[in-house]
Amino acid sequence: MTRLLSKTVLTFSASIFLIGCGAAALVSTPIENIDTTPLKIADLTDAQKQNWGHLDLVSDTIPGMSVDKAYRDIIKNKKGKKVIVAVLDSGVDLKHEDLDGVLWTNKGEKAGDGKDNDNNGYIDDVHGYNFLGDSYNEQLEFARILRLNIGDAAMQAKAKAKLDADYPKALQNKQQYEQILQTVKNADAAVKKELGKDSYTKKDLTGIKSKDEAMQQHVGVLMQMFAHADSIPEVVEELGGGIAHFTDQVNYNLNKDFDGRKIVGDNPYDLNDLGYGNGNPQSTGKDESHGTHVAGIIAAERNNGKGANGVANNVQIMSIRAVPNGDEYDKDIALGIRYAVDNGAKIINASFGKSFSPNAQWVYDAIKYAASKDVLIVHAAGNSGDNLDDANNPNFPNDHMQKNSPEIADNVITVGALASKYGSGMLAVFSNYGLKNVDVFAPGDAIYSSMPNNKYDYQGGTSMAAPAVAGIAALIRSQYPKLKAPQVKHIIMKSGLAPKAKVVLGGDASKTGSLDQISRSGKIANAYNALIMAESVASGKIKL
């Protein structure tokens, strides 16, 4: 799992390029009216931005999941049965004010005594387990394949081709973003001096009438930046995030000689080398925010006057730290799934993925084990803007051993991401898709949720769409605990909303498709409809 760049950052390079070449401003593709729902013209309010994934398409003209409507009209004060949801991720801030009340606690374990009190094979696992120990930065799998000489000749060749293509690109992007940031900083300092104040608005910029060519260039750069953010400090922060992303790629993810695992002490390519890691699945620092954000989307304490509301109201979050800043190891994922299953989780959220998996069979076996124990796995589709049905776009883990082969089990639901703008731009530009390999779509772009140290912020990715669906699954399993994992999966797929008009694929306006052409269900997950269908299935009125 590597940092997903925001759309703002991704467009900075193009902006500077346009300035340098004197090109005209780009014109966006017109958004067509989809079905009979009117398009929302006005910008989202701050309240809508923070909660758009919970809103209702019909009443709010925002492609949310009707979560608020489900609570108001269906759940009301009904608590249901407590459901354990495992967040198989980068660790969770266990002390967060919006999560500390929804943590799973292993009652058979005594904290800090260094003993395996419940004899489950894991010491001091009070709130979950940490398979990464003290490690954080990691390579991408194809770099590890080359460093350790893993796999057959074909896998080696693909890994080398991938690394040879990606490393120079990352290095170039890092250098370019550093240059852009310096250009913005220089322009910012010059304009502040010109205006005689430490902060300014876009209107202030338009009022500068200097005939100095250098000042005109500075104003032009900053005007372009205001097209991407509300203030220059925000631009600087976004560019800093881009530099951090590409620096991580160059120094760790794509560095063939880097070994992030040696600090753990196990052999990550030996499934029988156990006893590594520790019982503290706490996120390690402010940069390791992914798991905390995901956990908040699922189950942040509702209506407590703080931060954000999770989708599900009767959940215990089990934190399993197994996803580093880089690609996860198949061993950690396989053991993490089995840990979650054996310790009572009924849903596992898997917001991660990679393009190479040398020990995929370990994970397939774990998925089948979860299926045998009635555990649903919700997996993110990935953020490359690709068609996963194409054999050239592998995405692990998955629920089929060969591309487009039958599913190995019926307990995995793969989720693509939506943006808040209803219309042809509704599919998030980064979201993968696929008629056979993506099951459903859910809100995933610019989602507001919990961050380490009692903070909150927006993040985007299919990593955010998966926990939205995991939250719906938790609502169903809480209110209708007798329903099985495959039933919950198919209820979510069948009960969603199905717009028929075409959406832009991968941010490329020349490629479009309707949701029923780019996913198995053709639908947007909807909590309200799912609970209605769950009632019918549970009562025997509908058979799946």
Residues 226-263 pLDDT 10s: 988 889 999 999 999 999 999 999 999 999 999 999 99
The predicted pLDDT at position 456 comes to: 97
Instruction: Report CA torsion sign: 317, 322, 326, 331.
Output: negative
- Give CA–CA dist 402/410, Å, rounded: 16
Residues 137-155 pLDDT 10s: 999 999 999 999 999 999 9
The predicted pLDDT at position 329 comes to: 98
The secondary structure of 239-282 as a DSSP string is HHHHHHHHHHIIIIIT-TT--SSTTT-S-TT-TT--S-SBS--B
**If residue 508 lies in a helix (H) or strand (E), which one and from where to where?**
strand 508-514
- Give CA–CA dist 308/304, Å, rounded: 9
Instruction: Give the mean pLDDT of 428-442.
Output: 97
User: What token pair was written down for 247?
Assistant: 């620096």
The predicted pLDDT at position 402 comes to: 77
Instruction: Using alpha carbons, list the distances in angstroms from residue 27 to 228, 230, 445, 509.
Output: 15, 20, 22, 11
Instruction: Give the mean pLDDT of 320-343.
Output: 98
Question: Which band of pLDDT confidence, cut at 50, 70 and 90, is reported for residue 5?
Answer: low
- Give CA–CA dist 3/25, Å, rounded: 29
272, 119 contact by CB (below 8 A): no
The predicted pLDDT at position 3 comes to: 47
The predicted pLDDT at position 12 comes to: 52
Measure the N-to-C terminal CA separation of the chain; round to a whole number of Å: 35
416, 377 contact by CB (below 8 A): no
What is the rounded radius of gyration, in angstroms, for the C-alpha atoms of the chain? 24
Within the chain, how many helices (H) and strands (E) appear?
16, 11
What residue ranges define each of the domains in the chain, with the CATH number in brackets?
1-30+141-259 (no CATH), 37-138+266-499+509-538 (3.40.50.200)
Is the pLDDT score of 469 beyond 80? Answer: yes
Per mean pLDDT, which range of 119-128, 214-223, 225-234, 293-302 is the poorest?
Answer: 225-234
* Residue 27 Cα to chain centre, angstroms: 29
Residues 159-182 pLDDT 10s: 999 999 999 999 999 999 999 999
Residues 6+ apart with CB under 8 A from 376: 346, 347, 348, 411, 412, 413, 473, 477, 485, 488, 489
Instruction: Give the mean pLDDT of 256-279.
Output: 97
Strand residue runs (E) in 285-358? 315-321, 347-350
Residues 26-83 pLDDT 10s: 232 233 344 566 667 678 999 999 999 999 998 888 999 999 999 999 999 898 999 9
User: What token pair was written down for 138?
Assistant: 């990691």
As to burial, measured by CB atoms within 10 angstroms (0-12 exposed, 13-18 middle, 19+ buried), residue 313 is: buried
The predicted pLDDT at position 8 comes to: 45
Question: Which band of pLDDT confidence, cut at 50, 70 and 90, is reported for residue 19?
Answer: very low
Question: What mean pLDDT is reported for the chain?
Answer: 92
The predicted pLDDT at position 30 comes to: 33
490, 411 contact by CB (below 8 A): no
The number of CA neighbours under 13 Å toward the Cβ of 524 is 31
The predicted pLDDT at position 22 comes to: 34
413, 492 contact by CB (below 8 A): yes
525, 505 contact by CB (below 8 A): no
CB atoms within 10 A of CB 351: 28
The pTM of the full predicted model, rounded to 2 decimals, is: 0.92
The predicted pLDDT at position 124 comes to: 97
